[in-house]
Amino acid sequence: MNKLTNLSKPSKNLGLDLDLDWVLSTQANTSAIERRANNIGTRRSIKKQYQAAWLLKAITLIDLTTLSGDDTERRVERLCAKGKKPINENLALALGVNDLEITVGAICVYHEMVKTAVMALKDSNIPVAAVSTGFPAGLSPLNLRIKEIRESVRAGAEEIDIVISRRHVLNGNWKALFKEVKSFKEACGESHMKAILATGELGTLRNVARASIVCMMAGADFIKTSTGKENINSTLPVTLTMLRQIRDYYEKTGYHVGYKPAGGISKAKDALIYLSLIKDELGDRWLYPDLFRFGASSLLGDIERQLDHFNTGQYSANFRHGMG
């Protein structure tokens, strides 16, 4: 179900020359954004079969992730198996979706686990995403960060999640940020590049907005909120800020850029709020895995639990919906 059928292919972001006038004219009305964000969860309520349908959609948009220091080949193999069959077979039968071939959007791992994930997913259409460029801090030498990208691509990663140098944003050095991200994009080759802004470390929503624009000008296929390792990860005000930059960039260039919130999204109800916001701000075309992903490790378990409740009327124990 993560296959795209009867959809126009998004226009690939070819990037632009750095336009500092555009960057410096980009602002963010923090109070207005926060008011809008505070009202998002109260404007729309999705219930019963409609909620179940949206949760099934959400599964196809998950980058199922393990980024722990104690990751092993066996853990990654189990994660891949879960990604290929994210819903318990009996539950899928009860919901009548067993023939839809629902899978997650991607499996996201460290470079060392890319080959393991590629082998485990070889009989599926699920891509492997690798975090790269000195994740999560991004403070290793530039030549090593570029080499890491190339090694992950060589190992079979179809998607590369890069981290930007936050100091370039905090210092307002937009030329340095543009040059850095552009060099990462070139190293990715045909693999899709997701640019992680680490928004919790950028200080202001205006910085988030400007960093978003610069990364898109440099050719990012996706912009992503967080590594999941910061003290503050994905938030609704940050999401609203980034989505409006994506919309502005699309309206001015015709290029589609995807969005990936990551970190702290662990509940099904939160996923529904994000999907509603995407629909409102960008439209239905962004509700497919080529333009939207959740970066999450525990979200899938709660979605499966909510679907089980829809089916039986009772909540099952959390341990029944582990990652394998």
168-222 confidence digits (pLDDT tens): 999 999 999 999 999 999 999 999 999 999 999 999 999 999 999 999 999 999 9
* Tally of domains in the chain: 1
Query: Residue 63 — φ and ψ, nearest 5°?
Result: -90, 95
Just list the catalytic residues: 161, 224, 260
The rounded distance, in Å, linking the Cα atoms of 57 and 287 is: 8
Is residue 161 assigned to a domain?
Answer: yes
Is residue 106 assigned to a domain?
Answer: yes
Domain harbouring 88, CATH code: 3.20.20.70
Is residue 13 assigned to a domain?
Answer: no
Which residue(s) pair with 224 in the sheet? 196, 260
What's the pLDDT score for residue 53?
95
248-261 confidence digits (pLDDT tens): 999 999 999 999 99
51-85 confidence digits (pLDDT tens): 999 999 999 999 999 999 999 999 999 999 999 99
Range of the domain at 223: 20-37+44-311
Of 19-28, 169-178, 188-197, 315-324, the least confident: 315-324
Structure tokens at 134: 């000195």
The rounded distance, in Å, linking the Cα atoms of 264 and 255 is: 29
What's the pLDDT score for residue 127?
98
Is residue 318 assigned to a domain?
Answer: no
314: pLDDT confidence band, cut at 50, 70 and 90? confident
